[in-house]
Amino acid sequence: MVSWEIIGAWIAAFIVIWIYSFAFRDNVFYKLAEHIFVGTAAGYSIALAIDSLNRVAIKSLITQPTVSWHYIIPIILGMLMFFKYSRKYYWLARYGVAINVAVGAALAVRTIPMANIIRQIQAALTPLWGSDPIKLVNNWLMFLITVGGLTYFLFTIFPPKPAPGRTSAIYTLYRALYLIGIYGMMVGFGALFANTIVTRVGFVISIYLIYLQPYIIATIIGVILAAIGILIEVRRRSK
């Protein structure tokens, strides 16, 4: 007997194959998978939002109004956002968005100076002298790339370029640090890129093992359908 689990697994295998088929060419099965995906995601978001509003705010307001009365404030702020569609009162929506952004920024500001500034300064404070050559090179690289990276991101404070034929020690130092910063970052980006690609290859393998390999017939049918979709698209374009 065919169970809901089997039907779900077949649909999953089809959708995985059809989404991957986009790498070859857009086709009718990719469109189907895409619209199912976007529609489901949008519906899921709305359901989640309504459930969250009901569970967190409305139920608490009804059952414990003396404790949860302050939930009225975010509800009002949220409702203000609907004024975007009023020609006369559209400006009221700005308060909802502004407070939303401000609260997010305030929460972030709470931890960012410590994590992104103070801890980084502390990590960069390493001696640039000593007997261990490996450690010494490492410390110098750390110092130069940190200071160089910071110099690269100075957008408004930088020495003026000297006139042709003239030299400026500050400008030369600035350019040297700027270049060290950008090349240091490029090396870092290369390492990050390789690391992410390796992780993604792991994702592909796990998707194959979970969704495709156990339902190989569904996978083959999905591939055949995707191939037909691509051929139809090729013919349509050639006309």
Asked if residue 151 binds another protein (CB under 8 A), the reply is: yes
Place of tokens 């189907």: 32
- The answer to whether the CB of 178 falls within 8 A of the CB of 160 is no
Tell me which residue of 83, 75, 74, 82 sits closest to 102, measured CA to CA: 74
Which of residues 69, 183, 189, 208 is near another protein by CB under 8 A? 189
Q: Which stretch binds another protein (CB under 8 A): 56-64, 103-111, 162-170, 220-228?
A: 103-111
Asked if residue 37 binds another protein (CB under 8 A), the reply is: yes
Per-residue x/- track, 54-93, another protein (CB under 8 A): ----------------x--x-------x--xx----xxxx
N-term to C-term CA, the chain: 45
For CA atoms 213, 216, 222, 225, the dihedral sign is positive
The CB-of-14 to another protein minimum distance in angstroms stands at 15
Number of residues that bind another protein (CB under 8 A): 68
d(CA 58, CA 53): 6
Tell me which residue of 15, 32, 39, 28 sits closest to 211, measured CA to CA: 15
Q: Is 183 helix (H, G, I), strand (E, B) or coil?
A: helix
Instruction: Please give the DSSP secondary-structure letter assigned to residue 128.
Output: S
Q: Which stretch binds another protein (CB under 8 A): 5-13, 60-68, 117-125, 163-171?
A: 117-125
Asked if residue 141 binds another protein (CB under 8 A), the reply is: no
Q: Is 154 helix (H, G, I), strand (E, B) or coil?
A: coil
Q: Name the site residues for another protein (rule: CB under 8 A).
A: 19, 22, 26, 30-31, 33-34, 37-38, 40-42, 44-45, 70, 73, 81, 84-85, 90-93, 95, 97, 99-101, 103-105, 107-109, 112-114, 117-118, 120-122, 124-129, 143, 146-147, 150-158, 185-186, 189-190, 192-193, 196, 200
